[in-house]
Amino acid sequence: MIATSIFTRAKVGLLAGALGIALSACGAINTIPTLEEQAKSTWGEVQNQYQRRADLIPNLVETVKGYAAQEREVLTQVTEARARATQVRVDASTVTDPQKFKEFQDAQNQLSGALSRLLVTVERYPDLKSNANFLALQSQLEGTENRIAVARRDYIEAVRAYNTELRTIPGRWIASILYPGAKPMEVFTAPAGSERPPNVKF
């Protein structure tokens, strides 16, 4: 009777241990797709903020044009850079392609540079600098740039976690067996010259 009781307890203990190991393994197995979905979600927010910036630019260009039509070259550069930036698309399924990701980043960097040049020219037009429409657009643009920075930071962190899981054990083993198509995702890099602060005055 006592032997049966001990045997039953041992059996229950073994079953509980096996169940615990199985649940732990399920958690490990699900880590890669979970981190991948999180990275894709944060990438969606990056695109959302870049789109918000692109949507503000036509109004900004029209407002500046009303006061500084002679700045046609700068206005054209901004409009063309916006067109290029909105044409280059990198969706969540292609953030593993270094070339497409670089094209997207380069287009956004060109747009940032064109916007900086536009805002520098505004210094020459005191009436424009104090215009209520321009001030509102400038405020929205500054807020959007901050949101872009936060969204990029969150994306970089999500990709770091995902890429680390793909390169470390046991994630590396699990990926090779269960998710052979899982590839590291690209992250943003600072453009050349970004170590120098931009010469932009409002």
Give residue 201's pLDDT. 43
**CA–CA dist 142, 65 (Å, integer):** 20
134-184: pLDDT as tens digits: 999 999 999 999 999 999 999 999 999 999 999 999 999 999 999 999 999
Spatial contact of 185 and 162, defined as CB atoms under 8 Å apart: yes
What backbone torsions phi and psi does residue 69 show, to the nearest 5 degrees? -60, -25
Q: Any idea how long the chain is?
A: 202
35-86, pLDDT tens digit by residue? Answer: 999 999 999 999 999 999 999 999 999 999 989 888 999 999 999 999 999 9
Q: Which pair of structure tokens corresponds to residue 111? A: 């747009």
**Mean of pLDDT over the chain:** 85
Q: Minimal CA–CA distance to 78: which of 146, 137, 127, 147?
A: 137
Residue 175 and residue 31: Cα distance in Å, rounded?
Answer: 10
pLDDT per position as a tens digit, 83-138: 999 998 787 778 999 999 999 999 999 999 999 999 889 888 999 988 999 999 99
Could you read off the pLDDT of 14-40 as tens digits, one per residue? 655 554 454 455 557 889 999 999 999
